[in-house]
A and B are shown apart, each in its own frame.
Chain A
Amino acid sequence: MKRGKLLFVIFMGLMVIPSLVLAQTPVKGGTLTWGRGGDSVTLDLAQATDGESIKGGIQVLENLVIFKKDSMDVEPQLATSWEVSKDGLVWTFKLRKGVKFHDGTPFNANAVKVSFDRVIDKNHPFYKYGTWRYPALGLGPVKEVKVIDEYTVTLRTEKPYAPLVANLALWLCPILSPAAIEKYKEDIGRNPVGTGPFKFVKWIKDDQIIVERNDDYWGQKSHLDRIILKSIPEVSARFMALQSGAVDIADDLDPDSIQMAKANPNFKIIERPSVNIGYLAMNTKKPILSNKLVRQAISHAIDKQTIINTIFRGLAIPALNPFPPSMWGYNFKIKDYEYNVQKAKDLLAKAGYPKGFDTELWAMPVSRAYMPEPVKTAELIQGYLATVGINAKIVRYEWGVYLDKTAKGEHDLCMLGWLGGNADPDNFLYGLLHSDNAKPPAANIAFWENAEFGKLVKEAQTIFGKEKRAPYYLKTQEIFHEEAPWVPLAHSTIVRIYNKKLHDVPLRPNGLNSFQMIWKEK
């Protein structure tokens, strides 16, 4: 009897072990269905500004460099190595050999030149085929692209520009087949031809995009046969699609669905801190808000932790600097303005407004990861301000109008946020807070102009090496904290919910997720 039991245990053990081992070995094949909120606008990522376009395009296209899997440092992709000249103006990239685009065109220095020139050179014959976005974030600083030989290319900037290599890892700088660009002209965004692990197959507008494995891929070939990106605009329908097994991954679920998914053993969930910020900007050009003491008082009056617990359902961390702590150059020494009604009242009295004042609080009309429920958030903030005597009227506009009017500086207090794709502090500090960007239409919607801050940010752009640049950024954050042009509210956590049959599902904070490594149990 005992022996029988033992044999049984051994037998069962033998049965279980292989399946455990198997479970860890990637399975080749299968189709991944990916439910998301909207369709892509274009798959030519040099023309893309929206997350849905990036999700599709990044499967097909590759860049010279790519962010590492677990950090925001860059590593080679289509370039194998690079160096910058002593004067900091010329970047030389050595390119990977033996790589072919999906249409068979060989990848070489000319492909890089064509892909970049069409964006930066107004006289290039392909310039007119696209609407090139965010040049300041991407190839804007590049003045000339030169082919040195078949596999060497140089990029020249006007001024030394340290963040360049991080820019090149962004979605905005993909390398496309020059033959395909010429063939498809303005339709290239619907027929992307890159070098990536997946080939573009078909796009049915507002419905689905299909990509399939590139069997000639130069690197680790994908496990999946194909990916279907399915647009399911209604969030409840998207969650139902996940529950019914119609999709394997459901993006951008609401907090209630996330709670339900957490309780369901059929789903897996990953959470990561995002490289974003949601903030309340105070228009420093308005007489009352131009007073630093008033801005500090407002900073003391708002209870961020409650906002995070209620609005973000805990899926965020309180923000105190303009960019999140997961990025290099973050100043950990800064202590946040603690939530303290009395301090806020004292500061207001000191500023000459013991009874408070009337103001407008502009609420974003759309929800974003960094601001999931903007109107409720505005109502909370309104309540906090009321306790210190500030009477804030909530103002709402439609999104286009909101962006337009805030860029013109018509607001007092307004809410906005930013997702910093290249995870370079410059991206936040220069773009959102520098005086260069404080003129309408402004991205610096606090219209805050601080000479010392501006000088430090500009200098840091021209210095190479994170270690050398970091001290500048530590100092700028001190100035920002003292001057308080914003109340930084939260850095949200991003969540991915998927069927437990999937493995190696990536979730990068910057949203640049290639699904190359995913595999699916049969």
Chain B
Amino acid sequence: MARFISRRLFHLIFILIGVSILVFLMLRLIPGDPAHLLVGELASPQDIARIREKLGLDSSYVYQYFIYASNLLKGDMGTSIRSNVPVSQEIFVRFLATVELSIAAMLISSLIGILAGVISSVRQYSIFDYFSMMMALVGISMPIFWLGLMLMYLFSVKWGILPMMGRFTMGLDYHVISGLVMLDSLLSGDIQLFFNSVKHLILPAFTLATIPMAIIARMTRSSMLEVMSKDYIRTARAKGLSRGTVIFRHALKNAFLPIITVIGLNFGLLLGGAVLTETIFSWPGLGRYVVDSLSARDYPAVQGCILFFAVIMVIVNLTVDIFYLYLDPRLRIDGKG
């Protein structure tokens, strides 16, 4: 197992080198000058030249990449062109907001998705099956933007049950420990803040959960249907095991491989930030940051974010693979090799 993990982490180095070169080149090949964007409509040629020089954009690409890569090796992702703040710092604070939202959304989507999928599969062609699969279809096709605004209008403006935006009530005194509001509220024993942040999380997390929830439900259903027709399930039933044990211990565990892949993939995607949900609910996450940085041609910021995503995707995939090993003992043999 340790060898497996270390080998995968070793691969990460090459992935990062590849990604860093690709992103570096792509950013510079798309038109648009960060110096010009920085100074805006009224920029004198001198202003632009001065800022280009200051940002080091006047040297050759090879040299720029060399500087960038050597700084990266020292753990320095560079300084944001727009805000003059180290990129790692910019990414970190926003990533925590994204993590909070992503975990909540994945919990909601996995719980409801798997449950709906399991029930649909054991009651195939029942009303519940048709209904939940239709909802899944609606969930996949529903524009997030519209759903978010509708939820906000109904729950916040019209009924006033839930807060409409942000991570906690504006101006609330919050002592940052880890940066994850919910965790910090528990650490500091501030129950009020905890419930406050949970309430703020409900609408955006639910909005963000709809698509993965639908995918997970459909995947669970099809995977379960396949497993349920297997011989060992018949054997389990024949042994006289209870229905629950058959479904959850024997069927679901075996049906879990594709489900966990889907969950992992979606979680990885969510950790990259959800631009639309973050925009609607004024959630200060990574998705908005990447888009803003890209439109400002903030090279270091975009490079930093993409590298960061690459690391996250590798780690998420690795975690999923470790889950595989746990779920399917047959794979452990290959894993060693």
Q: Which residues of A contact B (CB under 8 A)?
A: 31, 33, 38, 41-42, 47, 49-50, 130-131, 133-137, 186-187, 189-190, 204-208, 210, 226, 228, 230-234, 236-237, 240-241, 243-244, 246, 397-401, 403-405, 407, 416-418, 431-432, 437, 439-443
Q: Give the shortest distance, in Å, between A211 (CB) and chain B (any CB).
A: 11
Question: With A137-B42, A204-B284, A244-B156 in contact, do A400 and B166 touch (Cβ < 8 Å)?
Answer: no
A residues near B41, Cβ cutoff 8 Å: 403, 416-418, 443
The answer to whether A237 touches B47 (Cβ under 8 A) is: no
The answer to whether A244 touches B171 (Cβ under 8 A) is: no
The answer to whether B171 touches A186 (Cβ under 8 A) is: no
Q: Give the shortest distance, in Å, between B154 (CB) and chain A (any CB).
A: 11
**A–B Cβ pairs within 8 angstroms, 30 of them:** A41-B82, A47-B84, A131-B38, A134-B39, A134-B43, A135-B47, A205-B93, A205-B284, A206-B284, A206-B289, A207-B284, A208-B166, A228-B170, A230-B170, A234-B279, A240-B149, A246-B156, A246-B163, A246-B170, A400-B296, A400-B297, A401-B31, A407-B43, A416-B41, A418-B41, A431-B42, A431-B44, A440-B45, A441-B36, A443-B44
The answer to whether A206 touches B84 (Cβ under 8 A) is: no
The answer to whether A404 touches B54 (Cβ under 8 A) is: no
| Contact indicator per residue, chain B 25-63, by CB within 8 Å of chain A (1) or not (0) | 000000111101111111111111001001000000000
The answer to whether B171 touches A49 (Cβ under 8 A) is: no
A residues near B152, Cβ cutoff 8 Å: 237, 240
Q: Of A38, A207, A234, which one neighbours B167 at CB under 8 angstroms?
A: A207
B residues near A232, Cβ cutoff 8 Å: 165, 282
Question: With A232-B282, A400-B36, A407-B36 in contact, do A133 and B160 touch (Cβ < 8 Å)?
Answer: no
The 5 closest A-B CB pairs, nearest first, are A400-B32, A206-B284, A207-B284, A401-B31, A244-B157
The answer to whether B39 touches A237 (Cβ under 8 A) is: no
B69 within 8 A of partner (CB): no
How distant is the Cα of A291 from the Cα of B318 in the complex, in angstroms?
66
The answer to whether B42 touches A443 (Cβ under 8 A) is: yes
Q: Can you name the residue of chain A whose Cβ is closest to the Cβ of B44?
A: A136
The answer to whether A233 touches B153 (Cβ under 8 A) is: no
A residues near B289, Cβ cutoff 8 Å: 206
The answer to whether B51 touches A131 (Cβ under 8 A) is: yes
How distant is the Cα of A186 from the Cα of B47 in the complex, in angstroms?
20
How distant is the Cα of A243 from the Cα of B54 in the complex, in angstroms?
45
Q: Can you name the residue of chain B whose Cβ is closest to the Cβ of A243?
A: B157
**A-side binding surface: helix, strand, loop or mixed?**
mixed
The answer to whether B295 touches A398 (Cβ under 8 A) is: yes
How distant is the Cα of A474 from the Cα of B37 in the complex, in angstroms?
33
B288 within 8 A of partner (CB): yes
B94 within 8 A of partner (CB): yes
The answer to whether B39 touches A49 (Cβ under 8 A) is: yes
Q: Of A42, A240, A416, A432, which one neighbours B164 at CB under 8 angstroms?
A: A240
B residues near A186, Cβ cutoff 8 Å: 79, 84-85
A residues near B70, Cβ cutoff 8 Å: none
Q: Of A33, A41, A47, A417, which one neighbours B170 at CB under 8 angstroms?
A: A33
How distant is the Cα of A431 from the Cα of B93 in the complex, in angstroms?
39
The answer to whether B288 touches A442 (Cβ under 8 A) is: no
How distant is the Cα of A131 from the Cα of B34 in the complex, in angstroms?
13
| Contact indicator per residue, chain B 91-109, by CB within 8 Å of chain A (1) or not (0) | 0011000000000000000
The answer to whether B85 touches A187 (Cβ under 8 A) is: yes
B residues near A205, Cβ cutoff 8 Å: 90, 93-94, 284
Q: Give the shortest distance, in Å, between B336 (CB) and chain A (any CB).
A: 45
Q: Give the shortest distance, in Å, between B58 (CB) and chain A (any CB).
A: 14
The answer to whether A237 touches B31 (Cβ under 8 A) is: no
The answer to whether A400 touches B165 (Cβ under 8 A) is: no
Interchain Cβ contacts within 8 Å, total number: 153
A residues near B51, Cβ cutoff 8 Å: 131
- Interface residues of B toward A: which range? 35 or more
How distant is the Cα of A243 from the Cα of B167 in the complex, in angstroms?
20
Question: With A136-B47, A137-B42, A401-B31 in contact, do A233 and B288 touch (Cβ < 8 Å)?
Answer: yes
Q: Give the shortest distance, in Å, between B88 (CB) and chain A (any CB).
A: 13
B206 within 8 A of partner (CB): no
Question: With A205-B90, A228-B170 in contact, do A404 and B32 touch (Cβ < 8 Å)?
Answer: yes
Q: Can you name the residue of chain B whose Cβ is closest to the Cβ of A420?
A: B42
B267 within 8 A of partner (CB): no
B280 within 8 A of partner (CB): yes
The answer to whether B45 touches A441 (Cβ under 8 A) is: yes
B256 within 8 A of partner (CB): no
B141 within 8 A of partner (CB): no
Q: Give the shortest distance, in Å, between B207 (CB) and chain A (any CB).
A: 12
B124 within 8 A of partner (CB): no
A residues near B194, Cβ cutoff 8 Å: none
Q: Of A204, A243, A399, which one neighbours B37 at CB under 8 angstroms?
A: A399
Q: Give the shortest distance, in Å, between B64 (CB) and chain A (any CB).
A: 18
Q: Give the shortest distance, in Å, between B29 (CB) and chain A (any CB).
A: 12
A residues near B160, Cβ cutoff 8 Å: 244
The answer to whether A244 touches B284 (Cβ under 8 A) is: no
How distant is the Cα of A7 from the Cα of B218 in the complex, in angstroms?
76
How distant is the Cα of A441 from the Cα of B33 in the complex, in angstroms?
11
B245 within 8 A of partner (CB): no
The answer to whether B295 touches A400 (Cβ under 8 A) is: yes
A residues near B153, Cβ cutoff 8 Å: 240
How distant is the Cα of A134 from the Cα of B47 in the complex, in angstroms?
7
Q: Give the shortest distance, in Å, between B204 (CB) and chain A (any CB).
A: 11
Q: Give the shortest distance, in Å, between B56 (CB) and chain A (any CB).
A: 12
How distant is the Cα of A432 from the Cα of B47 in the complex, in angstroms?
15
The answer to whether A133 touches B85 (Cβ under 8 A) is: no
Pick the most buried of B34, B41, B94, B166: most chain A CB atoms within 10 A of its CB: B41
Pick the most buried of A237, A241, A397, A398: most chain B CB atoms within 10 A of its CB: A237
A residues near B166, Cβ cutoff 8 Å: 207-208, 230
The answer to whether B83 touches A42 (Cβ under 8 A) is: yes
- List 12 extra interface pairs beyond A416-B41, A443-B44, CB under 8 A: A49-B39, A206-B285, A228-B170, A230-B166, A230-B282, A231-B284, A233-B282, A237-B149, A241-B164, A246-B170, A400-B34, A400-B37
How distant is the Cα of A208 from the Cα of B82 in the complex, in angstroms?
18
A residues near B171, Cβ cutoff 8 Å: 31, 33, 208, 210, 226, 228
The answer to whether A400 touches B33 (Cβ under 8 A) is: yes
The answer to whether A49 touches B38 (Cβ under 8 A) is: yes
Q: Can you name the residue of chain A whose Cβ is closest to the Cβ of B48?
A: A441
